[in-house]
Amino acid sequence: MLVRPYSGVVELRIHRLPWLADEWLPKPAEPRRPWWEEQHATRRHARHCLPLTMANSLGYTVHSPVSFRVDWDGDPHSHAQVDTDDTMSRVTTQAAPASFTVQPGFTVATDQPGQFVQIGAVPNEVAQAWVAMGAMIEAWWSPAEFGIVCLLTRAGGVTVPAGTAVARMNVFLAEAGTARLRVDDTLHPQWTAWRERRGRPGYVKDLDYLRGRHPDGTEVATHYTNWRAVER
Q: How many CB atoms sit inside 10 A of residue 22's CB?
A: 6
pLDDT tens for residues 113-136?
999 999 999 999 999 999 999 999
In a domain, 192, yes or no: no
In a domain, 52, yes or no: no
In a domain, 114, yes or no: yes
In a domain, 111, yes or no: yes
Residue of higher predicted confidence among 5 and 102: 102
Q: Which of the 8 DSSP states describes residue 131?
A: E
* CA proximity to 70, closest of 37, 51, 30, 97: 97
In a domain, 204, yes or no: no
In a domain, 209, yes or no: no
Domain of residue 84: give its range: 13-24+61-177
- Rounded CA-CA distance 216/196 in Å is 11
Q: Could you tell me if 130 and 93 are in contact, meaning their C-beta atoms sit under 8 angstroms apart? A: no
pLDDT tens for residues 165-176?
999 999 999 999
3-state secondary structure of 36: helix
pLDDT tens for residues 43-97?
888 989 999 999 999 999 999 999 999 999 999 999 999 999 999 999 999 999 9
Given this model, what pLDDT does residue 8 score? Answer: 64
Return all residues near 198 (Cβ < 8 A) that are at least 6 apart: none
* CA proximity to 62, closest of 120, 128, 140: 120
In a domain, 127, yes or no: yes
- Rounded CA-CA distance 147/132 in Å is 10
CATH code (residue 153): 2.70.40.10
Q: Which of the 8 DSSP states describes residue 109?
A: E
- Structural domain count, the chain: 1
Given this model, what pLDDT does residue 5 score? Answer: 46
Q: What is the mean pLDDT of residues 15-31?
A: 97
* CA proximity to 12, closest of 62, 52, 63, 50: 62
In a domain, 201, yes or no: no
